[in-house]
Structure formats: C-alpha cells, structure tokens
C-alpha cells in the first residue's frame, strides 16, 4: 500500500539538491508518495486544510511555525522522524547539555550565566573570568543560549595576543569567511550565554557528524574556523570537506543523541582534544550532508528513513 509522506518545511529547504537526493533514495526503498506543503499553506492556512498524510518530514528554519506543525501531528497521527515537540529544546544550548551529561555524552566544562543580571558578581581580568567560585581561564568560548545564534566568541589570553576571535555563519560577511579577529577582550554583558572551556582540537579540524536512526552515522571534517578565518570553496561555491572515520565512542554518541533528543535525522559537531577524547560542542537538529563526496550518506539516509516510515506509519 502507498505511504503518503508530507513535505512540510520551507520551500528552499525541500527543493534543495541534498533534500531531493534523500527523497529519491527513500522512493527506491518503498512505495512512497510525497506531497509538498506549499509555504502559504504552512504559514497562513489552518491545519484543517492541510493534506492528511501517513508520515511527515518537517524541520525548523527561519519562519517555520513549529507549534502549528505539532498541532497537525497530534490531530492526524502522522509520524515524523524527528519529534517536533522537542524542537524548542534543541534550540537551547543549556537544555541540550542537561540531556547529554547524564547519558554519557561528553561535553566541555561549561557555565550558563546571565551576564546582564549578574554583571556586578563577575570578576574579569585579561586572562580569566570568575563567577561565584567558577573560574574560566582563557582561552574560553562564549556562546549565546539560543542554538540558532551562531555569533560565538573565543577569548584569548595575553600570551596569545589577547583579544578574541568572533565566529559567524558563512555569507554573513562574505561567502567564504567564518571568523574574524577582534581586540575585544571582555565578555558580552548583554544577556544569557554559555561559557565553555576551550577544546584544543588534536587535528585542528571540526568533525561534522550526521546521524540517521540509532545505527547509522556519517562524518566529514573541515578546518576549524578558530584556526582558519576563511573556508575552502569548490568551483560551485560549496565548502570543501573530507570524509572522516569515527571512533566507536563517537558512534555511541550519535546513537544516544538520536535516542534521547528524539531526532532520527540529526547533525552535531565534535572536537577531539590532544589526548584523543571527543567532546560534543553543538547539536544542529535536522541536518544532512551537503557536499558532493557524501553519496554513500544519501543512499544510507534514504534507506534508513524508508525503513522508519514503513515501521511507524499507520497505513
């Protein structure tokens, strides 16, 4: 029997080349029909007017009405690979760490601090800051609480010249820039931030891991934006990455993240320190490979998702 799958996300995401590859692979592995929800329908029409489907592919991007989609899933019983009721949770860096720590997924030492409300309690010098007995020596990392905010600062000690390195999403400044140096040496005192110990990567690279279900994970590596202010681009303007072999522990991290964050399609970032220990430093929610070297990922992703839809959709 045909399984109807609703495609409920912003049009540019659904029609992107990587997403289309995944949909093609899903269809190779079962009797599926995809129904694309137009953006006007998603944003402006009541869920009673949305097509009724057995399953749904839905994920957040700017302008996406999460609560509305949750209501649709509750009303229709459509099965989603990613639990949409968990979307707000994975957008909060402190809530993510609260979930990961007790399940054995290693994260950096960190502190969640409202720097605006507690400004008078913060002790700050050129080489460290301290709050109520918790001390962070530079270099340390400062991240906004909102995981969708990628304006991350890394503060450097005077022995490394002081100041800071400011990270941002590519294309905010230019298509290949991901960081810039700054003379700013004082932490931001404008709201809630997560402060982390700096993990000096053994490889000088960030490991990008893409999990699909509890049993499959694929990884690529890129130059750390801390070490390289610009990323390498191919002739089509895509970031150049290399495949990377995961450790058994990193595969275990992937399985636990999928299970405990209730996200069958999930990307996350890892750093390995000088001793080879792996630390999860960011969770990206629904995320898939965008490079041209990841053909095996698309085949496996489509196969895994097809199996999950067949097992969970009530036809």
Query: Comparing 68-72, 174-178, 276-280, which segment has the lowest mean pLDDT?
Result: 174-178
pTM: 0.91
Q: Does pLDDT of 298 surpass 60? A: yes
- Sorted by sequence, the CB contacts under 8 Å of residue 292 that are 6+ apart come out as 234, 238
List, in order of start, the domains of the chain with CATH numbers.
3-82+308-312 (3.40.50.11950), 89-105+201-285 (3.30.470.20), 110-197 (3.30.470.20)
Do strands 110-114 and 192-197 pair parallel, antiparallel, or not at all (unpaired)? antiparallel
Angle at CA of residue 16, ends 296 and 63, nearest 5°: 125
Q: What is the pLDDT of residue 229?
A: 53
205 vs 23, more confident: 23
Least confident interval from 9-18, 114-123, 155-164, 172-181: 172-181
87 vs 24, more confident: 24
What pLDDT score does 235 carry? 47
Mean pLDDT of 253-273: 97
Instruction: Say yes or no to pLDDT of 287 above 60.
Output: yes
Q: Give the closest residue to 267 by CA, choosing from 275, 256, 258.
A: 258
Confidence of residue 233 (pLDDT cuts 50, 70, 90): low
What average pLDDT does range 21-32 have in this prediction? 98
Pairing of strands 3-8, 32-36: parallel
What local confidence, expressed as pLDDT, does residue 232 receive?
A: 57
């Amino acid at each position: 029997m045909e399984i109807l799958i609703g495609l409920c996300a912003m049009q540019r995401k659904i029609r992107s080349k990587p997403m289309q590859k995944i949909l093609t692979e899903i269809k190779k592995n079962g009797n599926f029909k995809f129904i694309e929800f137009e953006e006007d329908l998603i944003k402006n029409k009541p869920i009673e007017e949305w097509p009724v489907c057995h399953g749904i592919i839905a994920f957040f991007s700017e302008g996406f009405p999460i609560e509305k989609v949750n209501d649709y899933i509750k009303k229709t019983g459509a099965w989603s690979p990613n639990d949409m009721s968990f979307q707000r949770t994975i957008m909060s860096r402190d809530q993510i760490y609260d979930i990961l720590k007790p399940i054995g997924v290693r994260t950096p030492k960190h502190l969640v601090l409202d720097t605006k409300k507690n400004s008078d309690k913060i002790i700050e010098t050129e080489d460290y800051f301290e709050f109520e007995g918790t001390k962070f020596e530079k270099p340390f990392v400062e991240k906004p609480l909102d995981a969708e905010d990628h304006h991350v600062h890394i503060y450097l000690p005077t022995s490394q010249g002081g100041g800071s390195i400011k990270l941002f999403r590519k294309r905010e400044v230019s298509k290949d820039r991901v960081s810039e140096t700054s003379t700013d040496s004082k932490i931001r005192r404008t709201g809630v931030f997560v402060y982390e110990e700096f993990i000096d990567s053994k490889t000088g690279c960030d490991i990008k891991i893409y999990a699909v279900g509890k049993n499959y994970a694929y990884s690529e590596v890129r130059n750390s934006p801390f070490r390289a202010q610009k990323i390498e681009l191919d002739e089509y303007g895509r970031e150049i990455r290399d495949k990377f072999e995961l450790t058994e522990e990193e595969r275990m991290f992937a399985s636990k993240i999928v299970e405990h964050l209730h996200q069958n399609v999930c990307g996350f970032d890892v750093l390995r320190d000088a001793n080879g220990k792996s630390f999860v430093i960011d969770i990206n929610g629904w995320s898939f490979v965008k490079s041209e070297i990841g053909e095996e990922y698309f085949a496996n992703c489509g196969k895994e998702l097809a199996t999950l839809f067949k097992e969970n959709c009530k036809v």
